[in-house]
Amino acid sequence: MTQEEYLAQVEATRAQRMAWWREARFGMFVHWGLYAQLGRNEWVMNRERIPVAEYESLAAAWKPKERPAREWARLAKDSGMKYMVMTTKHHDGFCLWDTQQTDYNAVRRGPGRDLVREYVEACHEFGLRVGLYYSLLDWHHPDGAQCAKDETARRRFLDFTQGCVRELMSNYGKIDILWYDGVWPLPDASAWESVQRNAMARQLQPELIINNRAFLEEDYGTPEERVTPAEQGRDWEACMTFNYAWGYMPSAIDWRSTREVISMLGTCAAGQGNLLLNIGPKPDGSVPEEAVEQLAPLGRWLADNGEAVYGAVDRVRGAMEGGWTIKGNVAYRWCPRWPGGELVIGGIRTKVNRITLLATGEPVQFWQGDQQLKMLNLPQRSPDPHAGVAVYKFECDAPPRQVLGSGYVVL
């Protein structure tokens, strides 16, 4: 298959392949590997210049508990997440699956079992879509750096890379997402043989969704540690840490709050994107308590307010000011700051027929003038018991529009 044929096929099948993903909104990222034992982030081997042989000893020492992936998947499900993405190999090169490409893997070393298989089974058990993260960059493989300088090394390393991806796409049943990362040190898609590898992956997994981190734009963009929408028409997913570290790092003690995660979800839904929120499990696989603490109320909040979050949404930018998500003739007003008895909204240009509190369906009295809409007789305290973020559903006559601008001009 030529590159043109490949790209045409990817384009032609995208809408159908991405249908579930575009409605899912929220996924769990899991960074788990040897580095968890050091507890100083997933870049520790590079940042502390740990010799390969010394770092390798972590492989023999790693003894995770029984099937921690079930814990992650249960937590993801209860938190309102619809899919997961797990590191099968991070930049440190340790493979969490039963690979024939290297013996630096979880079956042959300390764990003595296939941690990717356990993860995939856990996703299935809890009804979650399955994503596999794979780092092209490899600090352990002898050709991982040499490949940039030596064609023989590059050939060996690419055979290794293609072999790894072939196994991941062949041995674990249906895989929903292939999440590449780390393109150092090769310069482009051609050097990484990305078209060949992705074409192979898609042949093995016809429904596969692939991210944009192997020098091909593929299915979606991946802003990291920022929630910035892509241009209209381009799918995107913000990958975000929970405590400003990807791998387990007990010293990283500032956790994003439930309310911050809700705010990120709002920005994603307003921009037709997804949120991939990370956890970095401990060496034994258990989830840091702080993550569970913030996710528990989030799950309850989503159970009440999911209609404003999941499913096909329209872009807010250009239609409304911030603080909304929209679907057709319906607008959802997110209220993280509670004003008390009356809420006044300016500049709504569409006739509003009905306003209800999304969580309960309880109608709200309101008055709509030309430039102002006043919601009346509201409670003094936020009616949302989970996170203090109430959502109101506005049913309108037409696709909602709000015009405020920076000046004060009565139109």
Pairwise CA distance, residues 380 & 372, whole Å:
21
What is residue 152's three-state secondary structure? helix
In the list 239, 245, 279, 291, the residue contacting ligand H79 (rule: CB under 6 A) is 239
Nearest to 110 by CA among 51, 29, 33: 33
Minimum Å gap between C-beta 117 and ligand H79 is 22
Beta strand 330-335 with 390-396 is: antiparallel
In the list 94, 246, 248, 301, the residue contacting ligand H79 (rule: CB under 6 A) is 246
Q: How many residues contact ligand H79, by CB under 6 A?
A: 9
Query: Which residue stretch of 12-20, 41-49, 109-117, 350-358 sits at the interface with ligand H79 (rule: CB under 6 A)?
Result: 41-49
| One-letter-per-residue 3-state SS of 6-71 | HHHHHHHHHHHHHHHHHHHCEEEEECCCHHHHCCCCCCHHHHCCCCHHHHHHHHHHCCCCCCHHHH
Minimum Å gap between C-beta 347 and ligand H79 is 39
- Does residue 124 contact residue 83 with C-beta atoms inside 8 Å? no
Query: Which residue stretch of 15-23, 39-47, 75-83, 265-273 sits at the interface with ligand H79 (rule: CB under 6 A)?
Result: 39-47
Tell me if 42 contacts ligand H79 by CB under 6 A: yes
Amino acid identity, position 393: K
Minimum Å gap between C-beta 134 and ligand H79 is 11
What is the number of other CB atoms lying within 10 angstroms of the CB of residue 12?
A: 9
Minimum Å gap between C-beta 4 and ligand H79 is 30
Query: Which residue stretch of 40-48, 104-112, 165-173, 356-364 sits at the interface with ligand H79 (rule: CB under 6 A)?
Result: 40-48
Tell me if 47 contacts ligand H79 by CB under 6 A: yes
Query: Residue 87: what are its φ and ψ, rounded to 5°?
Result: -65, 110
In the list 92, 181, 235, 237, the residue contacting ligand H79 (rule: CB under 6 A) is 181
Pairwise CA distance, residues 242 & 261, whole Å:
9
Pairwise CA distance, residues 368 & 391, whole Å:
19
Minimum Å gap between C-beta 131 and ligand H79 is 12
In the list 20, 43, 255, 310, the residue contacting ligand H79 (rule: CB under 6 A) is 43
In the list 27, 182, 229, 273, the residue contacting ligand H79 (rule: CB under 6 A) is 182
Footprint of ligand H79 (CB under 6 A): 31, 42-43, 47, 181-182, 224, 239, 246
